[in-house]
Structure formats: C-alpha cells, structure tokens
Structure 1
C-alpha cells in the first residue's frame, strides 16, 4: 500500500485518458479494483441472506461492508479521471457512468423502501439500477484490464475474476428464488428462517393473515419460468461471451467453478452463523461445460447447435438438482423459447469476437471525428 501510494503521489497531476505511467502503478490500481469488487460482492451476498431474516435496516452490517467497497470504487474512479492513468476514454466512461448510476440508485432504493415498505424482491426498479451501475463498472474494468493489463503475470486469473463479477451481478437476481424456496420449506416445517416481525410485515402488506399465501408471496413472488430462463440467457450467456472473447479453452468452466465454490463457502459461513441459506445453482456447471465443448465445433451451425446443447444440458441438470438436491420451482417448458434467443446471442457474440468490437469502435471514432470537423 505504501508503494502504491508513493506511485500515485508521484503521478498526481492532471492528464488525459491513456497517459503513460509505470506498469506497476496500472497493475496496482486494477488490483485495488479487485479488492473493492470483492468487498461489494461479499456485502451483497450477506445482504440478501440478512433480508430473509430481519426487517430492513439502512445501517445493517452487509450494507456497511458494501459501502466500504463503494468508497474504494469512488476513490479509484477519481484517480483514473484526474490522472488519466490506466484507462482510455471509453474505459473511463464505462467506469464513470457505472459509478454515477449506482450513486443515484442507492438513495432511490432507500426512498423506495421508505415509501413501499419491505420490497424484498430482487426484481424491483431501484434494485435494477443498482445492478445496472455495478454491471457498467464491470464492463469498464474488463475493457480497461484487457487493454492495459496484458503484461501482468496474473492477467488471466484477474480476467476470470472480472467476468465472475459480471456473472454474479446477473445471478444475484435469481438468489431471491434460491433463498425463497428454502425459506418457504422452513416455514412449512414450523422452523422459519425469518423473524415473526418480518413475516407479519410481509403479510400486512398483502392485507391478509400470516398464512401460506402470504409467506409464498414473500419468498417466491416470481413466475416459475423466470428462474431457468434468466439463468440460461444471462448467466450462461455471460459465460459464453467470456469464452468467445477470452479465447481460451475451459474459460466458461473455470469461471463457473469459481462462482460455485464461492457460493458453497458463503453457504457454509452463513449456515454456521445461523443465517438463512439458499440453494446453489450447480446446474450451471453442465451448461458451462456444454459451452466450452460447443465452442470447439468447427461448423457454421455452431450457434444453433451450441445453443441447443447448452440449453438441454442446463435444463437437464436443473431437473436433476430439483429432484435430488433442491432448486427453485421451474417451468421446464421454457427451454423451448430460451434456445432461440440464446442462439441469437451466440451468433452476435461470435461476430463481436471475430472483430466486430473493433469495427464498432472504428465507426464510433469516425463519427466523433466527423462531429469535431463539423
């Protein structure tokens, strides 16, 4: 930390994005980004479990942990913006817009809870803005690290972690159902995870007694088709994009194994501390393996064949998990209309991976030059 601080002080002058700087300074800044994102992910993971046990509290420990990570993000964006070190213009804009959206969404979420009460569901507009802000920052980090961190010996592990943040950001929404299915089962057993005050508050919002319908609305408020569809199109879609852009075999499997290990460790720690626990989406591993294997096919029909293989593998694994472990309620017929948009995404991602991103950037640069000349 002292060495990094000394480097920052030595280069603390205003500069344009893309400014030359020592490689060790650029690497150090991105590694601090990793620390900040780890704190945000830990806080968010603890937060959803917390809200399945107690009524909401603005100053709850998970919020404070997430806030520490956010403060670090603010500091890093300020450093990048003022000095221009470690970023180009596009990277910096992704980071700035992501942070801006997140900082606007945070007070809106507090106001939303004040007005609408519990609002525990992860699928709310104010929560969507929080995810959007975090997602934009993750995109900026991926772009910046890909352009400025290739000389680092830990380039690939850091790249996988940054894709992990994108995956976790998408899959966080599905955790509502993953906690909810076990929360509802615990209530039916007569040993609810949530305190009576929380369950009664949820029932009062529906203007009904504390019964099965009230608890089900609190724990599983989304339709059954949403859980598997979202997991495949956004979760496995993220892994597919990572595999294509990174270009290394078993990238999708590596990222999902890291994600599942993290979820299992979090599960064990939360259970040991007496907090509510969730199901873990082990079925995503089958989908990730299908992605890595399908990407090795040498055929023009790869997007269609791969999408069918990935969808079939993921839904079959989800059925097995539902039958032998535990999983949220799922409409398995949704596989029929998930496979088509997944094939479309596959074709788009392959276009981006084959140089589409560079062509888009060149087009945008030409548009900017034309505006300047005009």
Structure 2
C-alpha cells in the first residue's frame, strides 16, 4: 500500500507547478483529472438521491449519512479546483473561471443553508434560496468541467462517452429540485392509505412550523409546496434546454435521448433500493425521454432558427402529452391545462434560439458528429 502511494506521489509531484490556464497538459494527467471529476460527481449524485428521500422520512440532521456521502464528493471537487487553478492544467481560462465561480458559490451556499436551517428550522421546499444557490454553484462547476473536457479531450469514443456522462450529471443537477414534487406525490398517497412514510417527529415538526395540526392539508403543503404549474413548465424549459446543448455538443444522433434515458434508468434502479431500505419512493420522470427524443429528431432540421422554433413546439407538445399518459398509467405530480404549457413552449423557443446563437458564437458544436448546421 505504501509503495503504491509512493508511486502515485512520485508520478504527481512533478506536475505540481504554478502555471496559467491553458498550458499543455500531458494526456495521462488530463485523464486522471477528469476521472476525478467523474468520481466526485458520482458521489454527489448518490448522496443527493439519498438525501431527498431521507428528508421525506426523517427530521433534518447536518451529519446525516447522505450529507456525509455528498461531502466526500465536495472534498474531491475542492481538491480538483485547487489543482486546476494553481497549475493551469486541464482547463482553458473560461473553464477555469467557471469551475472557480461554481465551487466558490457552492461553498458559500453551504454555511448559508446551515444558517437558514438554524433560523427557520425545517426547510420545506427544494426551491428555497439557499438550496438554489447550491444548484447554481454546481451548475457553473459542471459547465466548467464540460468545457474543459470538450476543448481538451482528443476525438474518439472516450471523448463522447465522458462528455455524455458529464451531461447526465448536469441534467441531474438541473432536474434535482423537481424531485420534491415527485416524492411528494407518493407522500400524499401514503398518507391517504393510512401509512405515512414520514416519521412522527418529522410530521410534528412540519405541522408546528406551519402552525397547523397534523392533517391532510399539512401533508399536501409539505409534499407539494410550489404551484402545480412549476413542475411541467420546468420540465418543458429547464430540462429540455440542457438536452438541446447535450445533443449539439456531443454531436451524435440520439445524444439527448441517451442522456435523459441514462438519468431515468438511474432513478429507476435506485427506486427499489430505497424501497427495500424503507425509504420513500418517487415518481420517475419517464416522460423526459420522450422530450429528449423529440429534440434529437428536431436536429434533423438543418437551419438553426427554424429548428429552434419548430422544435420548441413539437417538444412541448410531446412533453405535455406523454406526461399526461404517465400521470394516467403510472404516477406524476399534478397536471395543468394544456394552454398553460403554451407558455412553456414560448419559453423554450426563446431559450433554444439563444442556445443556437451561443453554441455557434462560442464554437461549442461538435465538429465530428452529424448535427453541424449547414
């Protein structure tokens, strides 16, 4: 063991020199750095998945196992950020700044979130300001890592697979707050069945914070704390624009579908694991795969502006209709009027048009795949 540690140190120490971002990075070092990012994000995703289920069962605890698992990933993130900033290896200036800003925002958000819980007690919604800072910090962090890999990785199968994996992490981070409603649906079902998933101490704490008795209205407010419009509109805009970027940057025919399907498969696999461990389950967002497939097909349209306008209409219709099918056959958060989804389509059109300009302006389209505009 000591010999192995010594060999690693002997290999790594010569690289520990101060340098500017964008310096030439040896191939073996580049791979190790980004393998580190994949490990860090994997730990953070596992911790986050367990965390949201944990909070629907137990009263919050700073040292809860999901928080500790997430923290291990955060430690690796901080270490990698220091390496990139000090040595300049593995990133250009833009990627370095995005990673810096993202990590700094996340680290600032952590104590703010702890203070928020100390002052306000149980933070009932995933959409609170302190929680959103955590997601925003992680968002910029992953943006920097995606750019660093996109700009520095040599063409080939490994480049495509890692880029796809990074977009899965990005998609998970963006979609994470919407899981509150997905868990909330099952929380209400469990209450109505007379078998609440939350422990009595959590129900009492939430009721006291709301100033209500422990009744169905309290459970609904705890389980679905934001307007019903948030979930489908967020799916039509925030989730879909991530998949637009995924398709354009990965540059493979069904790239968006692969990213969304990987995320959904992951959620499906942890579903029985949580159930066996007696943790709350959630409504898995299968409808996102249909939206992703619609995005992939939209990229058959060669003109960027036409693609964005036509694609936003088709994608919104697909998301709305498949979500309704899922609601009827399986489970989903409450639905809204189809007319309201027109706002989601308009929002997606604006985001998609801006995205097409951004991808072209900053040369972020894959140039080896099939989706380069004519």
TM-score range for the pair, normalised by the shorter chain length:
over 0.9
Residue deviations 1:218-239 (CA, integer Å, cap 9, x gap): 1111111100000110111100
- Residues 349, 4 of structure 1: alpha-carbon distance in 2 compared, 3 angstrom cutoff: farther
Alpha-carbon RMSD across the aligned residues, in angstroms, is 1.5
Q: Give the conservation status (yes or no) of the 8 Å contact 1:229–1:338.
A: yes
Correspondent of 1:357 among 339, 348, 362: 362
Correspondent of 1:296 among 292, 295, 300: 300
Q: Give the conservation status (yes or no) of the 8 Å contact 1:40–1:70.
A: yes
Mapped to 2, the partners of 1:220 and 1:85 lie a distance apart of 45
**2:296 corresponds to 1:312:** no
Shift of 1:198: 0.5
Correspondent of 1:202 among 193, 200, 206: 206
Match of 2:32 in 1: 28
Mapped to 2, the partners of 1:5 and 1:172 lie a distance apart of 37
- Where has structure 1 moved over 6 Å in runs of 4 or more? none
**SS of alignment partner, residue 362 of structure 2:** helix
**2:142 corresponds to 1:138:** yes
Match of 1:321 in 2: 326
Q: Give the conservation status (yes or no) of the 8 Å contact 1:43–1:66.
A: yes
Correspondent of 1:162 among 162, 166, 171: 166
Match of 1:184 in 2: 188
**2:78 corresponds to 1:63:** no
Q: Where in structure 2 are the equivalents of 1:327-342 lying within 5 Å? A: 327-333=332-338, 334-342=340-348
Correspondent of 1:218 among 191, 197, 222: 222
Mapped to 2, the partners of 1:131 and 1:298 lie a distance apart of 33
State the aligned residue count: 358
Q: Give the conservation status (yes or no) of the 8 Å contact 2:124–2:225.
A: no
Mapped to 2, the partners of 1:331 and 1:357 lie a distance apart of 37
- What TM-score do the two structures reach when normalised by structure 1? 0.93
Residue deviations 1:81-107 (CA, integer Å, cap 9, x gap): 111111111111111111101111001
Mapped to 1, the partners of 2:189 and 2:25 lie a distance apart of 56
Residue deviations 1:186-206 (CA, integer Å, cap 9, x gap): 011110110011011111111
- What TM-score do the two structures reach when normalised by structure 2? 0.93
Mapped to 2, the partners of 1:294 and 1:82 lie a distance apart of 42
Shift of 1:152: 6.3
Residue deviations 1:207-266 (CA, integer Å, cap 9, x gap): 111111111111111111100000110111100121123322101001011101110111
Match of 1:371 in 2: none
Correspondent of 2:175 among 171, 178, 181: 171
Question: Which stretches in structure 2 are left out of the alignment for 5+ residues?
Answer: 365-374
Question: Which stretches in structure 1 are left out of the alignment for 5+ residues?
Answer: 360-374
Match of 1:233 in 2: 237
Mapped to 2, the partners of 1:262 and 1:157 lie a distance apart of 16
Shift of 1:358: 4.5
Match of 1:261 in 2: 265
Shift of 1:278: 0.3
- Residues 5, 266 of structure 1: alpha-carbon distance in 2 compared, 3 angstrom cutoff: farther
Mapped to 2, the partners of 1:151 and 1:69 lie a distance apart of 28
**SS of alignment partner, residue 208 of structure 2:** helix
Match of 1:368 in 2: none
